[in-house]
Every structure is written in structure tokens, then in C-alpha cells.
Structure 1
Amino acid sequence: MNGNDLPLWQLGSAYVFIIVLLIIVRIRKIPREKEILIATIRMTIQLMIIGYILAYIFGHANPLFTILILIFMLVFAIYNIYRRVNDPLDRELKKKIALSMSIGVVGTLAYFVLVTLSVSPWYNPRFVIPIGGMIIGNTMTGVSLGVNTLLDGMRTKRKMVESALMLGATPKEAARPIINQAFDSAMLPTINSMVGMGIVFLPGMMTGQIIAGASPLSAIRYQIAIMLGVVGGASLTVLLFVQIGYKAFFNERCQLKERLK
């Protein structure tokens, strides 16, 4: 490999792994060929498009462009959470998901960019957009798990919650075990990722920096900071969601709703 650029023919050689995967699923008669092909094509097209967009934005730094890109990513992440949830969501719960994501992501990203990295100017797209994407992506995964666990717990443990309410507990006290379980389930993948980082695998951002010629020690410092930011963003957002999300399951009389429409 000469330099830091990857020639197209070498990039094309990586698609051999997709061909091998297609052969495996065909031999094992697993009906996934179409999904694998669509996923591969979408990934390639989407990344090529975003590559050209980012190249333009990096060359024409503008706060409006940076903010619009971040808003687009955040809205798309919220939409993906709605799609990933196994049960129907009512309007109130959707609003709480959107509110939690917005406050958690914006607060974490602002602190990380202005305080931890001291980016100047604050809208520098070369820093803000990639870091924002990592925070939004990991937060989206955490909130998705939290929503699913909360919905499942409120459904399967309905009698336990109703019994606690009958004994005089408030909705928050009655739902506390479910809320704690939802938070724990949402954060577990991120915690597991931290445990294996550096020994089991090298994170993508750190690997990219090293390949691009950065010092491993410098890449490690950035990776530690970003991982802490990701953990902070996910934990704050999930915590905010579970603390306000459970209210969507109760009516104004502090009774469990029959079902979410």
C-alpha cells in the first residue's frame, strides 16, 4: 500500500468477502442473498454520496451546513428508533423519545466540542460532523434498546405494577424496577465495547487515524476522549428517556393505560 490513498481496484478487491458470504448462504440455503446484495449496494452508494458531500462541506466550512447535517442525522436516528421498536408507539412516547435524543445529543456534543476538544471555530465540520455521527449513532442504539426493554417490561410485568399502585406506590415507584432494567439493557453493549477495546479490537476511528499516518499515542488519546463522550451521550440520553418515558404508560389518574395505540 503506497501512501494513504486506496486505489479503486484495491477497494474492489474487498468485495470478494461479500461474494464468499453469498456463496455460503447459497450453499446453506439461507434466503438472505437479496438482503446482502441490497445492503452492500446501499452501503456503497450512501458512503460515496456522503463522501462527496463531506468533501464539499469540509472545503466550504459554514455553520449553517454543519448544523443542517447534524439535524438531518439526528432526525434520521429518531426515525430509526421508531422503526426498531417491536411494539406500536403512541404519539406521547414518540415525543419523549425525540425530546430525550435532542437534549442528550446536543448537550453532549456541545460540551465535547467546546470543552473537551476546544474546536475552533466551533462549527468546524471536520471535527463536529464525524464526532456528532458517532455520538448520535451510539445513542440511537442505546435508546432503541431502552425503549424495547421498557415496553416489554410494562407489558409482561403489568400485574406487578398494578399491585404496587394498589398498595399506594406512585407510578415512578411502581415502575422503578422496569426503568432500571431498561437503563441497564441499553447501556450494556456500550460497556461491553469499552471492556474489549484495545485488547479484543481496535476502534475504527483509531485505526483510521493510524493508517492515515497519525501517531498511535495521539490516536489513542482521541479515541479515549471520544469513547468517553459516546458513553456520556448514551447514558445521559437513555437516563433522560427512562425518567420521562415511563409516564407515557400512565394516565392523569396514575393508572396504567389499557394499551398504547
Structure 2
Amino acid sequence: MIEIGYMELALGSLLLLVHGAVTLIYKAGSPFSLLIAGVRMVVQLSLMAYVLRFLFAADMPLWTLLAVLVMVAFAGYEVVARQTRPMEGWWGYGIATGSICMAAGIVTVFALFVQLKPDPWYDARYTIPLLGMVLGNTMTGISIGLSTLANALKQNSDAIEARLALGHTRTQACQTVIRQSLHTGLIGIVNSMSAAGLVFIPGMMTGQLMAGADPIEAAKYQALIMFLIAGGTAIGTVSAVILGVYRLTDERHRLRLERLSIKM
């Protein structure tokens, strides 16, 4: 495996200047947000590297569980932070975190016990990277799904309230919005699976190839990961959207958009 020095890494970071220049020239946002995101990424990856080194050496389920809980908690926070119309109070965070925890938990446990079968089953070398990949993609699907749901309910409130007035249940009245939210939340993984291997080589397979793994084995691992991500994204997005609909309506089948807040 070819090692990357700090000088090579620093030279690679210069490519961010291209992104920043485009943002500045076309006024597509603040270049400082890119700088902050880049610094944050480096700090987070560095901390994760040291944490993983400790977890791999410790080989204790308690520490692995603690790392998992921290990852899920931050994933829920990231979902809420990306919303332009988040739910008021702790509901948004609770729905996001609960959906992420359920989806990632089901998929990760399924992979550990059925496909990978590490010994011990809680081996952090398998559990943490696998959970991280599933969490990242599930978080994106849930974030997009909830954002689409809030915006679509706001834009189609008159039509939804008319259906509710005609006697439709809240699920029936919001059926079109639910379908739209799920389609938007799930389209990302569908596009990734459709283009994988033909348009691009996914990250895990690329890493294994650069580390010297056999291409066939790397392809099998990548296919398994994509299957797991697709399942986790579907479970998490469906759960979040359905729970979001129930939160933004009530038991009397009324639309409750006042439960949304708008970020300034």
C-alpha cells in the first residue's frame, strides 16, 4: 500500500481553491463555508483515526457500543441541521435519530451475523466502518426525504386540507406528498447503484484496490455494501417520512404546519 505523506495531502487540499473560486465568482455561496467544512473534515477524520486505533487495540464491546451511539447521535443532529423547515422542539431530532438507529441497526446486525460473521461479532474493525457507510447514506436519504416532506406539505397545504375536509384520512390526503418525499430521498442510492462500475468505482472498492486487494473480492465487498446501503436508506427514509406525516398532522386528521419552524 502506497503511503501518503503530509506534503502530498497538503498539495491535494489546494484543489479546494478551485471550488472556492467558482463559489466566489458565481456567488453560489460563501467560500468560508467550504473552508470550515474542509477543516472540520480533517479534524474529524484525524480524531476518528485515533479512536479507531484505540478501539481496534481494546477489542471491548462496551467501547464499540459507545462509539456507535456517538455516531448515531451526531447523524441525527446533522439531519436536523440540514433542514430549512425543521420540526419544532425535539421532535425533528427524535424522528431523525430514531429512524437512523433502526435502519442502521437492522442492516448492520444483518450483515455482521449473516454475511461477514466476524469473530467476535462486535469486532470494531468491521462494525464501525460498516455502520459508518450505512449511516452516511441513510442520513442523506432521511435528510432529503424530511426536507421534501416539509416543503411539499407547505406548498400543497390547500389541496391536502381540501382532501381532509372531504373525509380522507391524513395518510390518504398526504399520499402524493409521501410518494414525492420517498422518491426524492431514495433516488440518490438508485443513481449510485446504476452507475457503479460503469461510470465510477465506489470508494470502498477503490480503497481496497489501492491497498492491493484482488479486484474480484473488492467488487464483491462493494456490491454487498451497496445492497446494505440501499436497504438501510429505504428503511430509514420510509420511517422518517411516515413519522413526519404523523407529527405534522394530528389524530383528528388536521394539518399542523405550525409545528414547523423556519431557519433564518
> What TM-score do you get using the length of structure 2 for normalisation?
0.90
Cα RMSD between the aligned structures?
Answer: 1.9
Tell me the equivalent position of 1:156. 155
**Paired residues of 1:105 and 1:135 also in contact (CA < 8 A):** yes
Tell me the equivalent position of 1:119. 118
Tell me the equivalent position of 2:76. 78
CA distance in 1, matches of 2:31, 2:148: 31
Deviations 1:130-171 (A, max 9, x none): 110010010000000110111111111111111111222111
CA distance in 2, matches of 1:237, 1:75: 15
CA distance in 2, matches of 1:63, 1:181: 40
Tell me the equivalent position of 1:236. 235
1:9 equivalent in alignment to 2:7: yes
The structure-2 alpha-carbon separation of the partners of 1:29 and 1:81, relative to structure 1 and needing over 3 Å to count, comes to closer
CA distance in 2, matches of 1:29, 1:155: 30
CA distance in 1, matches of 2:70, 2:214: 33
Tell me the equivalent position of 1:219. 218
Deviations 1:191-211 (A, max 9, x none): 111111111111111111111
CA distance in 1, matches of 2:38, 2:158: 45
The structure-2 alpha-carbon separation of the partners of 1:171 and 1:229, relative to structure 1 and needing over 3 Å to count, comes to same
CA distance in 2, matches of 1:136, 1:189: 14
Q: What amino acid is aligned across from residue 123 of structure 1 in structure 2?
A: Y
Tell me the equivalent position of 1:44. 42
Q: Which runs of 5+ in 1 are unaligned?
A: none
Percent identity, please: 31
3-state SS of the aligned residue for 1:4?
coil
CA drift at 1:42: 2.1
**Matched residue count:** 258
Tell me the equivalent position of 2:16. 18
CA distance in 1, matches of 2:195, 2:33: 30
Q: What amino acid is aligned across from residue 180 of structure 2 in structure 1?
A: Q
**Paired residues of 1:97 and 1:245 also in contact (CA < 8 A):** no
Q: Which runs of 5+ in 2 are unaligned?
A: none
**Paired residues of 1:187 and 1:235 also in contact (CA < 8 A):** yes
CA drift at 1:23: 5.6
CA distance in 1, matches of 2:238, 2:140: 14
> What TM-score do you get using the length of structure 1 for normalisation?
0.91
